[in-house]
Amino acid sequence: MAHEIRQDIRLSQQLVMSPQLQLAIKLLQLSRLELVEMMRQELETNPVLEEDGAADEAEAVSSAKEEKEIDWEAYLENCYERSSGINFTNESEESSPEATLTKKPTLAEHLTWQLHLSPFTQEEIQVGEFIIGNIDEDGYLRIGEDNGDEELYLRSITEEVVKATGIGAEVVESAIKKIQQFDPVGVGSRTLKECLLIQVELLGCKDPVIEEIIRNHLNNLEKKNYKAIASALKIPMGRVGEAVKFITGLCPRPGSAYGQSETVTVIPDIYIQKVGEEYVILLNESGLPRLKISPYYRTLISRNGKGTDATRAYVQDKLRSAKWLIQSIQQRQRTIYKVAQSIVKFQRGFFDCGVCYMKPLILRDVAEDIGMHESTVSRVTTNKYAHTPHGIFELKYFFSGGVNMSDGTEVAATSIMEKLKNICGMEDVGRPLSDQKIAELLRESGINIARRTVTKYRETMGILSASGRKKIF
């Protein structure tokens, strides 16, 4: 049989997430301390970036007009912009050290919070709570032994959940798929392959080479046997390298960020202050390096005939990376600001009167209000903190499911828990109130709540049962 070597030209369309979008999403989910660390690393590794100072700002602005070869007005238009927020430097308003201490949420707590804010059916919530309880510290749903047969293993997990909950396989599969859309992306996966494919899908990547490597060549990828991958897929090594670079940027252990629960120091990302009858949101940019493009490298790239082609290509690549970083940081700050504005609008009662006046609020409400996706709002509200007149709170604290009132309105679960805590705080320690009695007191105030719900809220807050709270003098 004769072998023939020939070249074919094929036209195809594929959607691949741009590096700039990848960077913007990555920055959005970083905490403030992680963002500062990343900015410091970029300052060290990218020679084009400089930390801006007030003294040379005027020089930087004026020198931007001199470049002719590249349209710097368009290319670096946003590099000199400052965030729309205002630096908060009033020492009298800074929080005390005690106010900046918080306990990092566990992975289970973070997932349960999202579960009860999502449009799940009652059966899906029941299944979801079981699933979350069986997700390990790496973020995987692992029940039973993996015998090497992937299809059989996935089916066995579904069967185990069905057996434990008494709910049908169709509902179980639906709940698993929905939880896998939670933050962190890929959580609830049952295999590494499934975890990576979920991340690829949610990132909007439609590159068939990336999907093919994840589906069928993870072993070669782990061994860095890139030649074998190129040979199997009949593609150039450069194409393999592009795909590998993308895949290695994914997170194989989505739950790892929640593996520790130590007390951490929190620096607020925003300050919310009441001025007159309105609330003003101040972005806390104190301590964040202010980045700009080095005038030296702008001048270097603009001079014709200076430097080799390789040098110019290197500088242009670093310029592009610097521009993306600066713009992505600005976009991150604007997004946090917009989400905070929406939260203040929805939770005005909290800011005016305190926790007992919290209203039910779900991610979808804010997402629709500001015209963004729910997943974006989820990223923004995780590990971002607001300094309010009532203390420092993580932004996701302001989201809570609701309980019906006797007048037909709803009250936030967070508000009910605060009322429950107040009731327990004022009770006779010699004769503490039972959960049934607390439920009756809440019903008298117009809150339709069952005893088992009181028990759940009490346990969530770490309040002991009546027998545990009783003190004998």
CA distance 354 to 379: 25
* Cβ contacts of 12 within 8 Å, gap of 6 or more: none
CA distance 49 to 64: 15
Provide the residue-wise pLDDT of the chain in tens; the chain has 473 residues.
555 555 555 554 444 556 777 788 888 888 888 899 999 999 999 998 888 764 344 444 444 444 444 443 444 344 334 333 334 444 444 444 444 455 667 888 889 889 888 888 889 989 998 899 889 889 999 886 777 788 888 999 999 899 988 999 999 999 999 999 998 889 999 999 999 999 999 888 889 999 999 999 999 998 889 999 999 999 999 999 999 999 988 999 998 877 655 556 678 999 999 998 899 999 998 888 899 888 887 777 776 555 667 777 888 888 888 999 999 999 999 999 999 999 999 999 999 988 888 888 989 999 999 999 888 898 899 889 999 998 899 998 899 887 777 777 777 888 888 888 888 888 887 888 999 999 889 888 888 888 888 888 888 877 888 877 776 43
- The answer to whether 284 touches 269, Cβ cutoff 8 Å, is yes
- The answer to whether 228 touches 240, Cβ cutoff 8 Å, is no
- The answer to whether 417 touches 463, Cβ cutoff 8 Å, is no
* Cβ contacts of 55 within 8 Å, gap of 6 or more: none
- Grouping H, G, I as helix, E, B as strand and the rest as coil, residue 265 is strand
Omega within 30 of 0 (cis) for the link into 184: yes
Residue 179 CB: number of other CB atoms within 10 A? 23
Beta bridge partners of 411: 403
What are φ and ψ of residue 463, in 5° steps? -90, 130
Q: Which H helix or E strand runs over 49?
A: strand 49-51
Q: Where in the chain is the domain with CATH 1.10.10.60?
A: 402-469
**Considering the domain 402-469 in this protein, what is its CATH number?**
1.10.10.60
